[in-house]
Structure 1
Amino acid sequence: MTTTQQPYGSDAFGFSTEQVHAGEVIDAQFGARITPIYLTAGFLFDSFDHAEARFAGDDGGLVYTRYANPSNTAVEEKLTALERGVDSLLVASGQAAITVALLGILQAGDHFLSTPSLYEGSKTLFRENFARLGIEVEFVDDPHDLTEWKRRVRPNTRAIYGETIPNPKNDLIDIDLIAGFAHEEGLPFVIDSTASTPYLIRPIEHGAHIVVHSASKFLTGHGASLAGVIVDGGTFDWGRYPEKFPQFSTPAGGPGGPGGAGGSGPGGRTLVERFGNRAYLEYTRTVIAGRFGPVLSPLNAFLLQQGLETLSLRVERHCRNALAVATWLENQPEVLSVDYPGLASNPSHPIAVKHYPRGTGSVFGFTLAGGRDAARTVIDALELFSRMSHMGDVRSLVLHPGSTSHAHLSEEQRLLLGIGPGLVRLSIGIEDEQDLLDDLQHAFTALRAAARPATIGELARV
């Protein structure tokens, strides 16, 4: 088997060409056009010496699917090309991607800063699970106030974290601004780009160093499987800060498993010396993901590969439909606000124009004046929208954050985050635009009927 040799990941091809061809494996033996699914736990060694060489990382071959698998590698190469990175790592879910990406940088006693508006699951992970590991997170109040960022930096601060399009409020961050601050402070900037995908923005081109995705969402696109990915931009100079990140510049430690990426390698060389700008990804793959074990099944990698091949087509339709729905909602008297940056009235619209010329995604919230009861009426009256906790599906989805994803918070905490009782979150799919609007019209008709006083005739029938 041979991997295609075209210069994908450069400017030689357009996005749609790369999403189809980058990273694909051509089956020379049987002529299969699609990269096969390698459902195997491990890989054969030719001899005693061959096994030893593989574990030492001398020949770059495969050892065990927990570390690498041809099905997964093909998708990693495709995502690396699409994000303009140097290497990628697939893991079992988006939450695993966030965890593994940060644990490749952070250790007990470290502190990191984050933008305030994030997926609630990320916040809970940081505040509770990371805290148990001795890692402290601090959320800035205003992500665009550089004086606040600078004031919160400590001697043990080791990373900056944020999201391209925060879920569910869509209060966009200026990636260029925060990336500039991270560069000045000598800190890696990790960014979750799940809601935007590389089709809408490539954060590495705006100064971010590491990109993570919940690939279960738009990248796969069909709600059939879970996956996560970490993309290393190769732009952070880990060797420049050995006191901050000793795992990349310390010769001691010995091999960390297949490939020997445990702080050193053959001859006592550091990871920076062995792998250059891929040192972070090698360490994260072998020492963090390889040992914690959140491996992605090759079958799920194949499903992700299939989804990626139509990413641009789907996201273009997602965004077009979302703007139409957001515009319609903004004109309804029962709606107090629509959190969609594509609308000129939205506070984040200037950043949307700057960073997202192709569109601002398709996941957003709108707030009903009637509060929780109005939200219940609208959600229950929808027929085309699926009521479920997911996003980025080809199908349109609806959820009430206040009673589901944010229910563990106090009312005061929810209001502080802008999660009012009347907030409804939509993930707009790729159905026909008019059908989505008709379904919403049906739901709002039900809302108005519930609010209208009963007539004498109606009372008589009761």
Structure 2
Amino acid sequence: MSDRAPGFSTLAIHAGAAPDAATGARATPIYQTTSFVFDDVDHAASLFGLQAFGNIYTRIGNPTNAVLEERVAALEGGTAALAVASGHAAEFLSFHALLQPGDEFVAARKLYGGSINQFNHSYKSFGWNVIWADSDDVESFARAVTPKTKAIFIESIANPGGVVVDIAAISAIARKHNIPLIVDNTMATPYLLRPFEHGADIVVHSATKFLGGHGNSIGGLIVDGGSFNWVGDDRYPMLSKPRPEYNGMVLGETFGNFAFAIATRVLGLRDLGPALSPFNAFMLLTGIETLPLRMQRHCDSAQKVAEHLAKHPAVEWVSYPGLPGDKYHELAKRYVPKGAGSVFTFGLKGGYDAGVKLVSNLKLFSHLANIGDTRSLVIHPASTTHRQLTDEQKAASGAGPQVVRLSIGLEDVEDLVADLDQALA
């Protein structure tokens, strides 16, 4: 190739990959093995001591997974990445590298319901405490920061409501307090939005969704932006203090701008174990090859469906940033000019019962708890994904009783509109 920097579509197909040296295989092989042979005792010692990079055990790293990691890091514009078993695992290992018992982090209230549950309940077992802020009120993040705060967490486009978040403004608050900003970029993907360009320090993904894109494999990614200086900051001892597991090595000093990715691998994934299988890594890689094509089709179709529903007599409102007049339309033009994503919500005039009835009457849309599939999906969050939340929490997260969430797939948009019409009739 020339000296020209590869474009997004080229990276989606080629980044991290090369023909297999042993066999010439062009597609990345599935290295379905638990472990790898060392050259000799010195080679093994250098790998275990982090003096050399290489393969030891698939729980820690695998050649198939490594291609996925390098590809997503390239697409996001990060320095390194770690592939893990799920999006939840990506969140968990990120916070594990940052938080000690008694620490706090600030999170936007408008998040995926599973993340809200994870933050409110599961993390308390580790002594990690969430402080909630309102993504519509940027200053609420500043007010929520205390001396115990170690991170800020947001979604670039919030699930389920399609809320576009002002990443740059929240990043400015994180920078002021010298704490990292973590952005879940699952809904946007790097095709629509690259959070590092707007001040994020760490990006996480549920690769289960749009990156894989076919509803067949669960996985997660952590991407290091290389922008946060961990050295000399005793608030982050996993990165700034000598690690006894590695003969006193300070990861922040040794690995520089990809130290966070290393810490999540050798201190988190190594001991906590949410490893991604090489087969799932292969499936996700295959999905990513068509990411730019799929995301544009998702967005174009979602725009048409949202416009149709906005005029439907049974629909009270539609929350989709691509619609002129939507609360987040201006932010969408700024952050996601190629399209406002595939997922949005709308409110039915009949409330909770109408939502339950709608999902029962749809024929082409699949009623299930996922997004980002080639197939169009529907769910009534109040009765499913957000069921564990209180009524107040449901409303705050954009999952009130009348709310229905759609994830628009790749079918003919005319067929999707017809299915919605017959179900709403």
TM class by shorter chain equals: over 0.9
Q: Which moved more, 1:28-37 or 1:328-337?
A: 28-37
Taking a change above 3 Å as real, the CA distance of residues 269 and 403 of structure 1, as seen in their structure-2 partners, is closer
Q: CA deviation at 1:415?
A: 3.2
How many percent identity over aligned positions? Answer: 46
Unmatched tracts of structure 1, length 5 or more: 1-5, 446-462
Residue in structure 2 matched with residue 393 of structure 1 by the alignment? 373
Residue in structure 1 matched with residue 21 of structure 2 by the alignment? 28
Give the partner amino acid of 1:165: I
- Contact preservation (8 Å) 1:160, 1:187: yes
Matches within 5 A, 1:374-389: 374-389=354-369
- Contact preservation (8 Å) 2:110, 2:135: no
Matched, 1:82 2:75: yes
Matches within 5 A, 1:304-323: 304-323=284-303
Residue 355 (structure 1) aligned to one of 335, 338, 342: 335
Q: Which moved more, 1:186-195 or 1:273-282?
A: 273-282
- Contact preservation (8 Å) 1:144, 1:178: no
Q: Once the two structures are superposed, what CA deviation does each residue of 1:37-68 show, in whole Å capped at 9, x if it has no partner? A: 10010001233333222212233221111111
Secondary structure of the residue aligned to 1:235 is coil
Matches within 5 A, 1:106-125: 106-125=99-118
Residue in structure 2 matched with residue 134 of structure 1 by the alignment? 127
Matched, 1:325 2:278: no
Secondary structure of the residue aligned to 1:332 is coil
Secondary structure of the residue aligned to 1:345 is coil
Q: Once the two structures are superposed, what CA deviation does each residue of 1:178-201 show, in whole Å capped at 9, x if it has no partner? A: 011111110100010100000000
Q: What is the CA–CA distance in structure 1 between the aligned matches of 2:60 and 2:124, rounded to whole Å?
A: 27
Secondary structure of the residue aligned to 1:26 is coil
Q: Which moved more, 1:309-318 or 1:102-111?
A: 102-111
Unmatched tracts of structure 2, length 5 or more: none
Residue 226 (structure 1) aligned to one of 210, 218, 221: 218
Q: What is the CA–CA distance in structure 2 between the aligned matches of 1:114 and 1:222, rounded to whole Å?
A: 29
Q: What is the CA–CA distance in structure 2 between the aligned matches of 1:86 and 1:166, rounded to whole Å?
A: 25
Matches within 5 A, 1:245-260: 245-251=236-242, 253-255=243-245, 260=246
Residue in structure 1 matched with residue 149 of structure 2 by the alignment? 157
- Contact preservation (8 Å) 1:115, 1:141: yes
Residue 44 (structure 2) aligned to one of 40, 51, 58: 51
Q: Once the two structures are superposed, what CA deviation does each residue of 1:188-227 show, in whole Å capped at 9, x if it has no partner? A: 0001010000000000111000000000000000000100
Q: CA deviation at 1:169?
A: 1.5
Q: What is the CA–CA distance in structure 1 between the aligned matches of 2:204 and 2:173, rounded to whole Å?
A: 20
Matched, 1:19 2:9: no
Matched, 1:187 2:179: yes
Q: What is the CA–CA distance in structure 2 between the aligned matches of 1:56 and 1:230, rounded to whole Å?
A: 23
Pairs aligned (count): 425
What is the root-mean-square deviation of aligned Cα atoms in Å? 1.6
Q: What is the CA–CA distance in structure 1 between the aligned matches of 2:53 and 2:269, rounded to whole Å?
A: 18
- Contact preservation (8 Å) 1:215, 1:304: yes
Taking a change above 3 Å as real, the CA distance of residues 254 and 413 of structure 1, as seen in their structure-2 partners, is closer
Q: What is the CA–CA distance in structure 1 between the aligned matches of 2:134 and 2:217, rounded to whole Å?
A: 35
Q: CA deviation at 1:142?
A: 5.1
Residue in structure 2 matched with residue 3 of structure 1 by the alignment? none
Q: Once the two structures are superposed, what CA deviation does each residue of 1:323-359 show, in whole Å capped at 9, x if it has no partner? A: 0000000001111111111101210111001101011
Residue in structure 2 matched with residue 425 of structure 1 by the alignment? 405
Residue in structure 1 matched with residue 195 of structure 2 by the alignment? 203
TM-score normalised by length of structure 2: 0.97
Secondary structure of the residue aligned to 1:238 is coil
Residue 394 (structure 2) aligned to one of 405, 414, 437: 414
Secondary structure of the residue aligned to 1:278 is helix
Matches within 5 A, 1:447-458: none
- Contact preservation (8 Å) 1:143, 1:149: no
Q: What is the CA–CA distance in structure 1 between the aligned matches of 2:263 and 2:68, rounded to whole Å?
A: 19
TM-score normalised by length of structure 1: 0.89
Q: What is the CA–CA distance in structure 1 between the aligned matches of 2:20 and 2:135, rounded to whole Å?
A: 52
Secondary structure of the residue aligned to 1:66 is coil
Give the partner amino acid of 2:229: D
Residue in structure 1 matched with residue 65 of structure 2 by the alignment? 72
Residue in structure 2 matched with residue 365 of structure 1 by the alignment? 345
Taking a change above 3 Å as real, the CA distance of residues 145 and 31 of structure 1, as seen in their structure-2 partners, is closer
Q: What is the CA–CA distance in structure 1 between the aligned matches of 2:54 and 2:395, rounded to whole Å?
A: 53
Task: Point out the structure with max Rg over C-alpha.
Answer: 1
Which aligned segments of 4 or more residues in structure 1 are displaced greater than 6 angstroms? Answer: none
